[in-house]
Structure 1
Amino acid sequence: MLIIDGKKITEGILSDLKKLPVPSGKLVVVLVGENPASRSFLRQKERVARDLGVSFELRSLPDSLSQEELERVVLLTSQDASVRGVIVQLPLPQKYNAREVIKHIDMQKDIDALREGNEGMLPPAVLSLAYILKEINFDLTHKQVVVVGHGFLIGQPIALWLKNKKCDVVVLDKDNFTPSVLKEADLIISGTGKVGLIRGEYLKEGVVVVDYGYGMQEGKVSGDVDIDSVQNTGGFATPTPGGTGPLVVVSLLVNFYGKQ
């Protein structure tokens, strides 16, 4: 099994972005409540943005806001002429309807590309996957692809994108996980956050495994894939950390620049 170095791919993309003029306008992230994992992801986004010279602003809000109040904050942020890109940091606290909140971002400023009908950009999960497949020269044509997890940020946009390619796609839910389905897959994409869900004995020789999962095990950041158990399956796999995470972050900035 060859490890896909997401950091190395990210460095190449950043190098290309640094050759371009820095877009005018701010990148604003709206954070609601106190989620330690969200704070960690935000620090990564801020670090990359500032490295590129992009104006970054965090708007931290209490989770005491009502749905309507949050929607208004997002709408006003999006209407601000000095703002070029808006991100609502997900997941939101459970009391909120995230889809309704996202609808209040202007389509041109929705750099997460989560609004229905936003065809001008690829969601960062999708764009990062495209970068990975290009790096390893993986042709999707007539391949068997399994997407594990059907979440708003990862599984749903990736499955939708894949269905427009010439490949066969199966989507598994983490709560109805059927390991035997993985045995026929040429490409597996997982984003459940369930640590160690995918093991080497479930996989065929030469499979490509792209892991978007993120969780903690014994005090360490881990992904959906038990990376030790897949070492002898050949093919490729992304590690966690250092795999898809950096690529998802830089893909946001690619959308901010308007360069795909």
Structure 2
Amino acid sequence: MTAATIIDGKLAAAAVIETVTAGAAALAARTGVRPGLAVVIVGEDPASQVYVASKGRMAESCGFKSVKHALPADTAQADLLALIAALNADPTIHGILLQLPLPKPLDPLPAIAAIDPAKDVDGLNEVNAGRVALGDFGRAFVPCTPAGSMALIRSALPDLRGRHAMVIGRSNLVGKPVAALLLAADCTVTMAHSRTADLPALCRTADVLVAAVGRPEMVKADWIKPGAVVIDVGINRVPAPEKGEGRTRLVGDVDFAGALTVAGAVTPVPGGVGPMTIAMLMENTLIAATRAAGVSGPPHR
């Protein structure tokens, strides 16, 4: 069998960013409005610091106003909510991103719920989650990773009508919204999780397989239907003794080398869904800014 096509998330993301950058410039020229993105980070989690820095750099490269609010780990819940309220009221900020996870004992749910749905560019607010579940994509902000995953799926398989899609993972961040998007694309969707019986056999029936469970290389080659599109959302750091003592490497939830021998198309880790997640955040922020300016902008995916 011919080796699977590797879906290049970096290339796809670059195309989105090019369009967003042009759209931001056009919006500024037409209305004087510059899209504004505020990122709130609490504590010193190293991975979160890296993610926030990359999002800030990308926002600036798109021509956005980029603001970072770094709060200490012992920030009180009331102070976090007060900052979110201030950002909600700031007309120069169109998108608010609360970097997760939050340090304990902070509760992320009321903080996310406090974000104005019109500025919830991460798509996690209960209003936007409800709109996605109802298929109200004209008003919803779709969470960035599911939106990016769908764009990559469509790049490999444009017509999804009647296809069987399998989503491994039922998180609010990825599993549930990506299942809703696949349903809206007229797929028949199966959701799997830690209690699913005979998971490999179910996976072998899927034309589209989305893995989002956080278990390194769990999905093996013999789980994959020949020719299937495989989207690997997982980002796991595992030991890499071949690189030296104490070194690590990134792998996904799919055995990538094995998937290449069976699948029709597969995303790599890194370089697959990750770049598209940040690109979708930029697109959502531009959409939020155009809506706030009362002009037509890019259609939501």
The TM-score with structure 2 as length reference comes to: 0.81
Tell me how far 1:247 sits from its aligned partner: 0.5
Q: Is the 8 A contact 1:192 1:213 kept in 2?
A: yes
The one-letter amino acid paired with 2:272 is G
Q: Is the 8 A contact 1:125 1:157 kept in 2?
A: no
SS where residue 163 of structure 1 aligns?
A: helix
Tell me how far 1:65 sits from its aligned partner: 2.2
2:209 pairs with 1:188:
yes
Question: 2:226: which partner in 1?
Answer: 205
Q: Is the 8 A contact 2:94 2:119 kept in 1?
A: yes
- Whose helix fraction is larger, Structure 1's or Structure 2's? 2
From 155, 161, 178, the equivalent of 1:158 is 178
Larger radius of gyration: 2
Question: 1:233: which partner in 2?
Answer: 262
Q: Is the 8 A contact 2:34 2:63 kept in 1?
A: no
Tell me how far 1:137 sits from its aligned partner: 3.4
After superposition, the CA RMSD in angstroms is 1.8
Distance 1:246 1:91, change over 3 A: same
The one-letter amino acid paired with 2:228 is V
Worse-superposed segment, 48-57 or 166-175:
166-175
The one-letter amino acid paired with 1:232 is T
Tell me how far 1:181 sits from its aligned partner: 1.5
Q: CA deviation digits over 1:10-67, x for unaligned, max 9?
A: 1111222222225525211011112222122212212211211212111111221233
Question: 1:131: which partner in 2?
Answer: 151
From 56, 61, 74, the equivalent of 1:64 is 74
2:286 pairs with 1:257:
yes
Consecutive unaligned residues in structure 1, runs of 5 or more: none
Question: 2:41: which partner in 1?
Answer: 31
> Percent identity of the aligned residues?
28
Worse-superposed segment, 141-150 or 89-98:
89-98
Distance 1:175 1:40, change over 3 A: farther
The equivalences for 1:43-122 within 5 A come to 43-118=53-128, 119=131, 120=139, 121-122=141-142
Partners of 2:48 and 2:257 in 1: CA distance:
27
From 238, 259, 276, the equivalent of 1:217 is 238
The TM-score with structure 1 as length reference comes to: 0.93
Worse-superposed segment, 242-251 or 137-146:
137-146
> How many pairs does the alignment contain?
260
Deviating above 3 A after TM superposition, structure 1's stretches of 4 or more consecutive aligned residues are: 174-177
